[in-house]
Structure 1
C-alpha cells in the first residue's frame, strides 16, 4: 500500500457561466442531485447536515460553510460527532477560451493530527462507510468525477 493521500481534486470545464456554476454548487441542497453518497440535506443558515448512503450503510455529517466567495469558491468543513473530518469545496473560474467555466472539486482530509481524535474519526469513517481512511481519497476521486459530470449535465442539459 502506498503513502496516504490527504487531498484530492478533479476539474471539468462546463459550458455555463461562472455565476451559474457557483450558484448551483453554493446551494448544498442541490448536491443531492449530483453526489454519489448524499441523499438528503437539512440547511440551517451557515450550517447543514448531510445524510449519506453507501449500499445499506447510512450516516450523517455536520457541515459548516467555510468559504463563500461568489463566482470563485464555495467550501464547507465536515465533522462527525464533533470530530474534524474534511473540507469539501469547489473553485469556479471562467474559461472563455474553452467556452465555459472550469469547476474544480476538492477534498482535504482533516484527520491528520495523530492521537485519539484521529483514531476515533477514522474508526467512525470505517464503521459508517466501510472504507478505510487510507482508501478514502481514491473513493472520493471516483465520486468527484461522477459529481462533476452530473453538475455539467444538470446545468447544460448535455453530457460532459
Structure 2
C-alpha cells in the first residue's frame, strides 16, 4: 500500500472569507495558530503578499527547530491561499528539496466561512524510505497522520482567534 500524500480538514468559522484570508495570508502570524510553525520572515518585508512572494518559516517540533523556504503559489483574496515549501535547514543554510504544499480555501457557508486546509507531500521518496523517516521524525507515525493532527489544531486555533477578534 502506497503512502498517503495529501490530507485535509475543514471548519466553519463565523467570519467573512476576506477576514480569514487576511489572517492566513499574513504568514508572519501563522505561528499564532499552528502547533509547529513559529511564524515567518518575508524576503521583502512590508511588500504585499502575492504569487511569487518568498518567505522563511520558523518551525519547532519538541526540541528540534528548523527553517523552511517557501514561495506563495496561489493568492486569491477571500478564495484561496497556498505556498510550496522548497528548502529546509537551519537558520542560515537551507537545502533545496521538494517538501510540501500547504493550501487554504475559503467558501461562504451558513453565515460564516468554510475554511479547508490541505497538506500535500511533495517528497519524491520511495514509500519505504518515507515511512522510515516519518516514523523517526514524528515519533512513531506517518507524516499524513501527523499533519492531519496539526491541521485540526491549526483550524481550531484559527477559529478561536477569528471568532474572538
Aligned to 2:121, which of 104, 109, 113? Answer: 109
Gaps of 5+ in 1: none
Per-residue CA deviation, residues 88-142 of structure 1 (Å, 9 max, x unaligned), is 01000111xx22000000011111365xxxx6xx59x76xx8238x700101000
Report the equivalent of 2:50: none
Paired residues, number:
147
Residue 38, structure 1, aligned to residue 37, structure 2: yes
Is the Cα contact below 8 Å between 2:98 and 2:124 reproduced in 1?
A: no
Q: CA deviation at 1:151?
A: 0.5
Q: Which runs of 4+ in 1 moved over 6 A?
A: none
Report the equivalent of 2:106: 92
Report the equivalent of 1:15: 14
1:40-79 to 2 correspondences below 5 Å: 40-45=39-44, 46-79=53-86
Q: Compared with structure 1, are the counterparts of its residues 53 and 113 closer, same or farther at alpha carbon in structure 2 (3 Å cutoff)?
A: closer
Per the normalisation by structure 1, the TM-score is 0.83
Per-residue CA deviation, residues 11-33 of structure 1 (Å, 9 max, x unaligned), is 00000011101111111011010
Distance 1:150 1:32 in 2: 10
Distance 1:21 1:49 in 2: 21
Say which SS state the counterpart of residue 51 (structure 1) adopts. Answer: strand
Distance 2:111 2:118 in 1: 22
Distance 2:138 2:149 in 1: 13
Distance 2:154 2:32 in 1: 9
Per the normalisation by structure 2, the TM-score is 0.81
Distance 2:59 2:68 in 1: 8
